Amino acid sequence: MVEKNQPIWFSVFKANPSRLDAHCAEALGVSRADIKRLIETSDVLLNNSPCKPSVRVKTGDEVSIALVAHSTTPQVSRAQRIGDQIIANEWAISIVHDDHDVMVINKPFGLLVHAASNNAGHNVVAMLIDAGVPLAMGQQHRPGIVHRLDQFTEGLMIIAKTQAAVDGVHHQFKCRQVTKHYYAVLKGVPASLEGVIDRPIGRDASIRARKSCHHFIEGTQKDAITLYKVRHQWSNGCFVDVDIKTGRTHQIRVHFASLNCPVLGDSLYSNQPKKSVGYLLQSYYLSFSHPTTNEPLEFKLPVSDRLKKYAGQTNDGKDTNQHR
């Protein structure tokens, strides 16, 4: 049985024209063959008209897609918005802020931001689209994405609903006008309980999935700055408050691994075994200016249940931290 969802639409913003099938496949994280089948059955419309997979799309074009769930694909329930939650199967995305241009969500740990070749289940982008949230084309032609969180990093994340939001928030990230703070649990304690890690990060020369401060491919490195302060410590670990001044892929994980204090549970950057709860990172604070009104926006989350036992807090929430 084939089930067609409500059509989704997005505008094209590309410097160079590209094939419709290639553009849609890249944008939605699905195979080009699947998109081609949808185009051939008129489930993809370009400017409200049927077209061929080879037609070139350009900036200003409007694309609508009626996604089809085939019986050969994993059977996952459609996401739906219920109050301030977007829910599908075991996943629940909390909506912290929502207006015409931007949405701020609390991403749960374990949920991918966008589709991946090795994971055909739910992801943030698919859930938002399924729930009817309008998304502008963002980072790397992915709807709504102006920055990302790693799979097992939970917490605050900005979603762009309009092109004005994409452009405005992207400009703020580029000019380092967005403030992002994280909580991290480390295996080990840094020699300095407060400090700055200023080490460039590039593609690891040996392991494709990794980034590195020391063994990167020359020419791929970019400056990366991380500020941290230990808030609570014990014999073989600590709970730290992190302020990243740049937003490099895996930045916090790479920087603390370079201090021989990897994020607890991070099997990619240490020899720790994989755990179902993953590595312990939370994006807890976010501030930026609204992209159209310029209004200051500020959001803060409490320490998550996953990290709370490491944060020096009692069960009633009282803070017992010794390092301030």
pLDDT of residue 116: 67
Query: Which superfamily, per CATH, for 179-282?
Result: Pseudouridine synthase (3.30.2350.10)
pLDDT of residue 38: 85
Task: Please write the tens of the pLDDT for every residue from 77-114.
Answer: 678 888 889 988 778 999 999 999 999 999 999 999 98
- Residues forming beta bridges with residue 234, ordered by sequence position: 237
The catalytically annotated residue of 21, 61, 150, 241 is 150
Report the 10 Å Cβ neighbour count for 114. Answer: 19
Report how far Cα 162 is from the mean position of its chain's Cα atoms: 18
Residues ≥6 apart with Cβ < 8 Å to 49: none
Intervals of CATH 3.30.2350.10 along the chain = 80-175, 179-282
pLDDT of residue 141: 66
Spans of the chain below 50 pLDDT: 1-4, 6, 69-76, 314-324
Query: Which superfamily, per CATH, for 80-175?
Result: Pseudouridine synthase (3.30.2350.10)
Q: Answer yes or no: 130 catalytic.
A: no
Is residue 181 a contact partner of residue 252, using CB atoms and an 8 Å limit? no
Interatomic CA distance for residues 257 and 154, integer angstroms:
19
Interatomic CA distance for residues 213 and 200, integer angstroms:
6
Intervals of CATH 3.10.290.10 along the chain = 3-69
Give the pair of three-digit tokens for residue 310. 């490491």
Instruction: Please give the class, per CATH, of domain 3-69.
Output: alpha beta
Spell 223-250 as b/e; 16+ CB within 10 A means b: ebbbebebbbbeeebbbbbbebeeebeb
